[in-house]
């Protein structure tokens, strides 16, 4: 079937386009600007510019069966811009609702939205997160992702078009960027981590598992509108993540004990208390509802996912 993907030039989008083409779908890759690296020959590229409330989607969506909306604003680091919150809202909320309405008008049958676990919360405490828990997003990214979810579900209420929403945790895999890439760089350089005392649980999601699930959501029949949590099958502590990354890179892990309260104090002094809280805190996801609905078990465990990520990392950076 014909699948329209926003954010197609990103970390997830590139891999997803390739996977869907290889499984027989016709893919239109919507990108902000023409990418330097070409897509596969079977992928049609559509340049759409910036996403927001005024984006004109009408011509591009004709004949599309499924829309997968990956694009969004995740980072806004320009501290000189006093309207950062407005930028998040324009792209993540108004842009999503605009696309959903255009998709409904164009006769799209299913709208799949990649949200974030941040739309729910920053930590799970002593209990793994499940779909029925009340969302309590904390930062502007999480709040706008949650508003986008609500806006999308309102658009499809009593409509022919269906809506499926995924809330993933931190995604890793070949091509990863951001904090996970920084952690890999630190492990590869033998950086000492004063994190041995941390005894938390955190869920992650390998790119291959995410793409596999998205493909199943494209094809599954008779599924009700809803929100699903998704993650790898295993949750691990921050020290264990460092050990596994180091092992996959062929490097020794250098973990040292350090009082956790001093880590929090260091975060306060540096003006990043939230970063330390996420580092030492628990964020565990129960993804059993999605697995049951799709009859699906993730094909990759975390060790396999990290091995593939390490191969990419070492090929590209050494």
Task: List domains and CATH numbers for the chain.
Answer: 2-167 (3.40.50.720)
Q: Are 240 and 294 in contact (CB under 8 A)?
A: no
Q: What is the pLDDT along the chain (318 residues), one digit of tens a residue?
A: 899 999 999 999 999 999 999 999 999 999 988 888 888 778 889 999 889 999 999 999 999 999 999 999 887 555 555 578 888 999 999 999 999 999 999 999 999 999 999 999 988 888 999 999 999 998 999 999 999 999 999 999 989 999 999 999 999 999 999 889 999 999 999 999 999 999 999 999 999 999 999 999 999 998 989 999 999 998 999 999 999 999 999 999 999 988 887 887 877 887 776 777 778 889 999 999 999 999 999 999 999 999 999 999 999 864
Q: Work out the end-to-end distance of the chain between its first and last CA atoms, rounded to an integer number of angstroms.
A: 40
Q: Which among 88, 89, 113, 141 is annotated as catalytic? A: 141
Q: What is the DSSP letter of 135?
A: P
* Torsion of Cα atoms, 77 then 186 then 124 then 146, to 10°: 30
- Say which residues have a Cβ less than 8 Å from residue 264's Cβ, sequence separation at least 6: 273, 276, 277, 280
Residue 222, pLDDT score: 87
Q: Is 206 a catalytic residue?
A: no
Residue 79, pLDDT score: 54
Distances, alpha carbon 313 to alpha carbons 25, 175, 299, in Å: 29, 8, 21
Beta-carbon neighbour count of residue 33 at 10 Å? Answer: 10
For residue 172, give the 3-state DSSP assignment. strand
Distances, alpha carbon 282 to alpha carbons 2, 100, 141, 276, in Å: 39, 34, 19, 12
Residue 119, pLDDT score: 96
- Say which residues have a Cβ less than 8 Å from residue 294's Cβ, sequence separation at least 6: 213, 216, 217, 220
pTM, two decimals, is: 0.92
Which pair of tokens denotes residue 44? 């049609």
C-alpha 189/C-alpha 278 separation (Å) is: 23
């Amino acid at each position: 079937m014909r699948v329209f993907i926003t954010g197609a030039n990103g970390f997830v989008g590139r891999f997803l386009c390739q996977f869907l083409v290889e499984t027989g779908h016709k893919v239109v890759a919507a990108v902000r600007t023409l990418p330097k690296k070409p897509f596969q020959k079977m992928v049609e590229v559509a340049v759409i510019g910036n996403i927001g409330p005024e984006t004109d989607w009408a011509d591009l969506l004709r004949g599309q069966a499924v829309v997968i909306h990956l694009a969004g604003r995740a980072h806004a680091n320009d501290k000189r811009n006093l309207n950062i919150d407005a930028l998040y809202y324009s792209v993540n909320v108004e842009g999503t609702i605009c696309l959903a309405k255009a998709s409904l008008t164009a006769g799209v049958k299913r709208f799949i939205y990649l949200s974030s676990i941040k739309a729910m919360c920053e930590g799970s405490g002593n209990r793994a997160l499940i779909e029925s828990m009340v969302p309590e997003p904390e930062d502007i990214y999480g709040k706008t992702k949650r508003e986008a979810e609500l806006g999308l579900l309102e658009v499809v209420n009593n409509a022919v078009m269906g809506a499926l929403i995924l809330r993933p945790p931190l995604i890793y895999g070949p091509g990863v960027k951001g904090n996970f890439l920084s952690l890999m760089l630190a492990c590869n350089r033998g950086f000492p981590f004063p994190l041995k005392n941390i005894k938390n649980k955190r869920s992650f999601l390998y790119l291959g598992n995410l793409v596999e699930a998205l493909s199943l959501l494209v094809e599954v029949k008779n599924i009700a509108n809803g929100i699903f949590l998704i993650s790898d099958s295993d949750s691990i502590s921050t020290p264990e993540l460092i050990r596994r990354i180091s092992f996959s890179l062929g490097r020794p892990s250098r973990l040292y004990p350090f009082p956790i309260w001093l880590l929090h104090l260091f975060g306060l002094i540096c003006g990043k208390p939230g970063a330390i809280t996420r580092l030492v805190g628990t964020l565990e996801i129960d993804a059993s509802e999605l697995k049951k609905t799709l009859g699906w078990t993730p094909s990759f465990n975390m060790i396999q996912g990290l091995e593939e990520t390490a191969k990419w990392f070492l090929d590209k950076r050494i």
